[in-house]
Amino acid sequence: MVFDKLKELGIPPSGLCSDEVFVRRAFLDVTGTLPTAQEARDFIRSENKDKRSALIDELLQHDQCAEYWTMKWCDLLRVKAEFPSNLWPNGAQAYHEWIRSCLKQNMPYDKFAKELLTSNGSNFRVPQVNFYCSLPRNNPQKILDGVALTFMGMRTKNWSAEQRAGMEAFFARIGYKSTGEWKEEIIFFDPSGALTNSTTGKPQMPTPLGAAPIPLAADSDPRVAFADWLTTTDNPWFPQNIVNRIWAWLLGRGIIHEPDDIRPDNLPQNPEVLKYLEQELVSHNYDLQHIYRIILNSRTYQLSAEPTDKNRDDVANFSHYYVRRLDAEVLLDALCLITGTSEDYTSQIPEPFTFIENQRAISLADGSITSPFLELYGRPSRDTGFESERNNKPSTAQRLHFLNSTHVLDKLKRGNALRPAIGKIPGDGNKIQMLYLTILSRFPTEEEENTAYRYLHTDKRLPKEAWMDLAWALLNTKEFMYRH
């Protein structure tokens, strides 16, 4: 379907990416982690004709896959202890672990959404109720904004006042109460909540978008009626939103772009692809891993990032893989993995004070916990749930950080990962290959290997410093810093 559209537009696709490129791309896109030198070498040298699909299946079952996609979902769900979400430390930790567990088990997406939308209880003991703790309390308008953005990919500012009022009524009977435990909050169905139109002050029946009002008994929770409507198989927005997001996460751009701006006048670039993925999701009982497999195994995903003269200007039709910088957390974890170092985090938020040691950045549960590196490289603040909150645009300050900062230099000096690996291998050529496999997940070209060999044998300093220079040079390449 993608290639039919390209043919119609007269845009030829690029060729398939190499095995060296694919193994790195798949590891980063599925697990947010670089392959080890051994994993990269084994895949490149494997003669298995189905090794790409086999690797995809393996990565989707990897613990780091659940960790990475938990990070993505925590961005959408605003998992943050304080300001403005106010989940508080216990709530943020419990919420993060619940999301990770759901993704690890591959919980059907409709069940995942229903639990977030309809659960009641303590934000510490029923983690999914933190969905409502992350949104403004007792404000059906703001709650609707968050629900529509997360599960429908829509911005309610584009709706009519009548549409908004009908949808707001589903969230008018949410109750909140505190307990004797510090920062604990109970979320519950409050039948005393008034179903009124916030504009006219008149009674308002809950009304799904584009459908008839739903009459409810006084003891019926409107959230349950909303969740049932949202996840019906003929609801177009629910499956469309998530398959479009997954496509954007894996390919760098949504079929509808931006992926959280679905509206009648923002048409999909390829309606046939979007419809096909929606049908696959519904027919496979909302199995998100099924959608990942379809996309990851597709020729479209596996195209080279190198454009041709005839598709160089294409930015929306997926004629080649779109190059983009690594996420802040992924980049920091890759730097730590290569150098054998770790990051520590301290913060006055959440109160009273937080220390986190030896933890990967993609595993940080709380969006309140950050670092100068993560902020510099555009980690989202988790204030809004918008995809655009994450900023992966490169900057001069980022380039200077890798080139000149003591942060990167100290990691190279203190790191223990490279030296033992290189030191145990006989021959400079094999060591150079190991360095390239460790940092770039590929073997060096003959020219690259010869250049590195000459440098090592002409540098007058200690061998350790020459090897550190080579590692520093590879870390500063776009090939390392970007998905490609």
pLDDT at 201: 86
pLDDT at 417: 58
pLDDT at 471: 92
State percent of the chain over pLDDT 90: 83
- What CATH number does residue 348 fall under? 1.10.3130
Domain boundary at 200, 230, 260, which? 230
Confidence of residue 86 (pLDDT cuts 50, 70, 90): confident
Q: Are residues 198 and 332 in the same domain?
A: no
Residue 38 lies in a domain: no
Domain boundary at 211, 230, 249, which? 230
Q: Are residues 343 and 477 in the same domain?
A: yes
Q: Are residues 454 and 341 in the same domain?
A: yes
The stretch 290-313 carries a mean pLDDT of: 98
Q: What span, in angstroms and rounded, lies between the C-alpha atoms of 379 and 207? A: 37
CB atoms within 10 A of CB 38: 12
Q: Are residues 350 and 217 in the same domain?
A: no
- Measured in whole angstroms, how far is the alpha carbon of residue 356 from the centre of its chain? 22
Q: Are residues 476 and 338 in the same domain?
A: yes
215 DSSP assignment: -
- Measured in whole angstroms, how far is the alpha carbon of residue 79 from the centre of its chain? 13
Q: What span, in angstroms and rounded, lies between the C-alpha atoms of 160 and 167? A: 11
Residue 81 lies in a domain: no
Q: Are residues 221 and 341 in the same domain?
A: no
- pLDDT tens per residue, range 228-270: 999 999 899 999 999 999 999 999 999 999 999 999 999 999 9
Residue 205 lies in a domain: yes
Provide the Cα torsion 207, 213, 219, 224; round to 10°: -50
DSSP string, 189-200: E-TT---B-TTT
Coil/strand/helix, residue 179: coil
What does pLDDT average to over the chain?
94
Structure-token match 């990897």, residue found: 62
Residue 151 lies in a domain: yes
Q: Are residues 461 and 338 in the same domain?
A: yes
The stretch 339-357 carries a mean pLDDT of: 82
Q: Which of 327, 155, 154 is nearest to 244 (CA)?
A: 154
Domain boundary at 230, 246, 279, which? 230
Q: Are residues 349 and 465 in the same domain?
A: yes
**47-51, 291-295, 300-304, 417-421: the lowest-pLDDT one:** 417-421
Can you give the residue range of the structural domain that contains 448? 328-483
Residue 430 lies in a domain: yes
Residue 197 lies in a domain: yes
Residue 149 lies in a domain: yes
Q: Are residues 341 and 456 in the same domain?
A: yes
Residue 114 lies in a domain: yes
Number of domains in the chain: 2
pLDDT at 420 over 60: no
